[in-house]
Amino acid sequence: MPSRETHDVVVVGGGAIGLLSAFNLALGGLRVAVLERRETGLESSWAGGGIVSPLYPWRYSPAVTALAHWSQQFYPNFAETLLGKTGIDPEVHATGLYWLDLEDEAEALNWAAREGRVLERVELARVAAAVPALGAGFTRAVHMPDVANVRNPRLLKALRAALLQMPNVSLHEHCAVTGFVREDKRVAGVRSASGDFYAQRVVLAAGAWSGELLREVGLELPVVPVKGQMILYKCAEGFLPAMVLAKGRYAIPRRDGHILIGSTLEHAEFDKTPTDEALASLKASAIELLPALAAAEVVGHWAGLRPGSPEGIPFIGPVPGYEGLWLNCGHYRNGLVLAPASCRLLADLLLGCETIVDPAPYAPAGRLAPF
């Protein structure tokens, strides 16, 4: 059983947010334990598509935009760093992204002009030349050339391997947290099936399950599970040279020819069961985007649970009135997009460093209520 004061920080959750939080805190010299109820990286971080951009970035608040921009610049070099450390390539693949038949195209272009982002209208003939497999039923397109996607399962494997190399990190899988160790008003650790883990600070990064855990200390965190289903095809390499998005559905190419199609948006509590209805809907979207997929076999179909939050703005920082308890959760549909900036911001705050962005919009203070 772990002994008292073994760790400077206990991180609850082994997804992208939890692993990268631990990585940054360990780089800052802290002794970190990561607790994950299953194996690391098997929940929403694994299940998502890995586009390194919000699907419609102009529809989000400046708080989300600030984290997304920082992360987009960070990912390519970070992938190279992880590859060098672990031999595992997260495959940050800069393909660009075409949005088709946008209802709010003018707003998108205005947003790009304000933010200094490259986003332009393009003729359909140009899109057809760039993406020969694209369906013929579209009338308008805008293009952002520098958008990348990351192969999220490989990113998680690389993060896990990097953490295992760090002498000041311990990773505890199949270690479900059941509650918090309280000493007066201070959170002094967590309780788990493997015993109590004590720490100076506890970081709750449990994705869609964060709200359930925070209720244990009498707080209502507005983070709820939002189910998303995806399907996967295997095509020839180069079949889809760029990401395409229409009517809320997207196609993402991997370097080896796998094509991801996603995703649904469902409120089904913690039920992750893939459904025939979603499969049919996703296949219809796939064929509308890329008609040749009608003859292709679906080689994967799964569901994940996003940590839904108001406006998609994550909770990052200390919990007022609960000394020692910190949050990094509630990233909704943009966990992988926002992870580098969110986890750097958390580390900046916890280590007392100058922050990369203004932390105020993400602070838990004023955003939680008694349960």
Domains for the chain: give ranges and CATH numbers.
Answer: 7-46+155-222+311-370 (3.50.50.60)
**Which pLDDT belongs to residue 266?**
96
**Which pLDDT belongs to residue 185?**
84
What does DSSP say about strands 7-12 and 195-204: parallel, antiparallel, or unpaired?
parallel
**Which pLDDT belongs to residue 313?**
98
> What 8-state DSSP symbol labels residue 228?
E
Assess contact for 259 and 251: CB atoms under 8 A: yes
Give me the mean pLDDT over the 198-224 stretch.
96
- Sign for the CA dihedral angle at 227, 225, 341, 117 comes to positive
- pLDDT tops 70 at residue 3: no
**Which pLDDT belongs to residue 362?**
98
Tokens of 267: 């409120």
- Sign for the CA dihedral angle at 206, 208, 209, 210 comes to positive
Rounded to an integer, what distance in angstroms lies between the CA atom of residue 288 and that of residue 76? Answer: 31
**Which pLDDT belongs to residue 6?**
79
Give me the mean pLDDT over the 213-218 stretch.
93
- Residue 185 has phi, psi (to 5 degrees) of -90, 0
**Which pLDDT belongs to residue 184?**
86
> What 8-state DSSP symbol labels residue 353?
P
CA-to-CA separations, 350 to 49, 172, 200, 365, in angstroms, rounded: 30, 22, 11, 15
**Which pLDDT belongs to residue 4?**
60
Please report, rounded to a whole number, the percentage of residues in the chain having pLDDT higher than 70: 98
- pLDDT tops 60 at residue 1: no
- Residue 354 has phi, psi (to 5 degrees) of -65, 135
pLDDT tens digit sequence for 253-302: 999 999 999 999 999 899 999 999 999 999 999 999 999 999 999 999 99
Please report, rounded to a whole number, the percentage of residues in the chain having pLDDT higher than 90: 95
Q: Return the ∠ at Cα 78 (arms to 38 and 170), rounded to 5°.
A: 35
Model confidence, pTM: 0.96
330 Cβ contact list (under 8 Å, min separation 6): 210, 221, 222, 223, 307, 308, 309, 313, 314, 315
> What 8-state DSSP symbol labels residue 3?
P
- pLDDT tops 90 at residue 153: yes
Closest CA to 242 of 142, 68, 125, 94: 94
- Sign for the CA dihedral angle at 153, 159, 160, 165 comes to positive
- pLDDT tops 60 at residue 5: no
Closest CA to 298 of 287, 311, 312, 310: 287
- pLDDT tops 50 at residue 121: yes
pLDDT tens digit sequence for 295-350: 999 999 999 999 999 999 999 999 999 999 999 999 999 999 999 999 999 999 99
Confidence bin at 116 (pLDDT 50/70/90): very high
**Which pLDDT belongs to residue 62?**
96
Neighbours of 241 (CB within 10 A): 13
pLDDT tens digit sequence for 55-107: 999 999 999 999 999 999 999 999 999 999 999 999 999 999 999 999 999 99
Alpha carbon of residue 321 to chain centroid: 28
* Mean pLDDT, the chain, integer: 96
**Which pLDDT belongs to residue 370?**
79
Closest CA to 74 of 116, 24, 5: 24
- pLDDT tops 80 at residue 371: no
End-to-end C-alpha distance for the chain, whole angstroms: 31
Tokens of 65: 């935009």
